[in-house]
Amino acid sequence: MERIRLGNTVFEGENNVYLLQGDETVLVDAGVATDPTREEFVDGLASFGVTPADVDRVFLTHWHYDHAGLAGMIQQAGGATVHVHEADASLVSGAEASLIEDKALQQETFEAWQLPDGPREELLSFLEGHAELAGDDVDVTPFTGGDRFTVNGLELEAVHLPGHSAGLSAFAFEDDGERQAFVGDAILPKYTPNVGGADVRVASPLAKYVDSLVEVVERDWDRALPGHRDPIEAPADRAREIIHHHQERTERVVDVLDRHGACDVWTVSHHLFGELDTIHILHGPGEAFAHLDHLERHGVVEREATTYRLAVDEPEIEALFPDP
Ligand SMILES: [Zn+2]
Ligand SMILES: [Zn+2]
């Protein structure tokens, strides 16, 4: 298996595209649909003697533009089958607009988070400038968790790991006695994948994501191949670390409400992250929302319209997170 690194700096830094060569030419993920990334991608494939028209199948870990953007171009070049989880399928096919393009969803989300006018305008103009990164519409072939695919003698199992996006899926396989998985943005080596802002369609995003992290711990893969940066050699440890990180962040959210009284999502985000720019104006309050929502679902905070207040004196935050 080969890795093609794309220097996309638009969202989360360098993207990985994985190439599996054999009877079939198969890709896991495709980069963002900009001209420079397309060139890098085509050059990367060429260094392995492959053109986009040679690609038989593309497996997408999730709908985000930096993972799915070039899938339409690849499909147009040679008719590749594009597999994506059913929960993300309509965003990749173009049947449904994401927050990046859906004005009504933007309005509803930014009202719920109480985004002030300045940051809101900055974010809207950022999103407007990035809508084209979605690339061309794709004729998708949806799958569900547990589906299996045989690729050049390897058996890939789709493992649904929702949270960062509704349909995010890993593809697990065993090769040379090593149990590995392409994990997209389910876990990343350096920073924690955004939850709450990265896919606003996900209900109770933090609970879903933490459950997905527990699944990663239980799978105990020998190696995870992420959508960004280098392979993760101890995925279960990394998943535990991320659960712990979210527990600490939840404690910080409780601390903000304790010190400042009732707050809206934007105010909590401001206390956690300070000034934000570009996509972080989406991801910061998204994170704050995910944690407030988690606390609300456990009765630790009460929400009145867009304002959250502590409902419990000394909450046991540890009890809101698993310890796998
Ligand atoms: Zn992503
Ligand atoms: Zn990503």
Instruction: Tell me the per-residue pLDDT of 153-180, one tens digit each, with 9 for 90 and over.
Output: 999 999 999 999 999 999 999 999 999 9
pLDDT greater than 70 at residue 12: no
Task: Kindly indicate the confidence band of residue 11, based on its pLDDT and cuts at 50, 70 and 90.
Answer: low
d(CA 147, CA 17): 21
Instruction: Extract the tokens encoding 107.
Output: 């309005």
Task: Kindly indicate the confidence band of residue 205, based on its pLDDT and cuts at 50, 70 and 90.
Answer: very high
Ligand 1 centre to CA of 259 (Å) is 33
Query: Mean pLDDT across the chain, nearest whole number?
Result: 96
Instruction: Extract the tokens encoding 93.
Output: 């096919």
Contact by Cβ (8 Å): 252, 219 = no
CB atoms closer than 10 angstroms to residue 152: 12
DSSP lists the bridge partners of residue 44 as none
Report pLDDT digits (tens) over 207-262: 999 999 999 999 999 999 999 999 999 999 999 999 999 999 999 999 999 999 99
Q: pTM of the prediction?
A: 0.97
Contact by Cβ (8 Å): 38, 70 = yes
Ligand 1 centre to CA of 298 (Å) is 27
Q: Which ligand is nearest to the CA of 13?
A: 2
Phi, psi of 12 (to 5 degrees): -115, 20
Contact by Cβ (8 Å): 145, 159 = yes
Report pLDDT digits (tens) over 69-112: 999 999 999 999 999 999 999 999 999 999 999 999 999 999 99
Q: Span 279-289, mean pLDDT?
A: 97
d(CA 87, CA 212): 15
Q: Nearest-CA neighbor of 278 among 98, 64, 10, 66?
A: 10
Ligand 1 centre to CA of 64 (Å) is 5
Ligand 1 centre to CA of 258 (Å) is 32
d(CA 164, CA 167): 9
Ligand 1 centre to CA of 185 (Å) is 5
Q: Nearest-CA neighbor of 172 among 234, 225, 239?
A: 225
Phi, psi of 160 (to 5 degrees): -75, 120
Ligand 2 centre to CA of 185 (Å) is 5
Identify the DSSP state of 130: T
**pLDDT given for residue 14 in this prediction:** 84
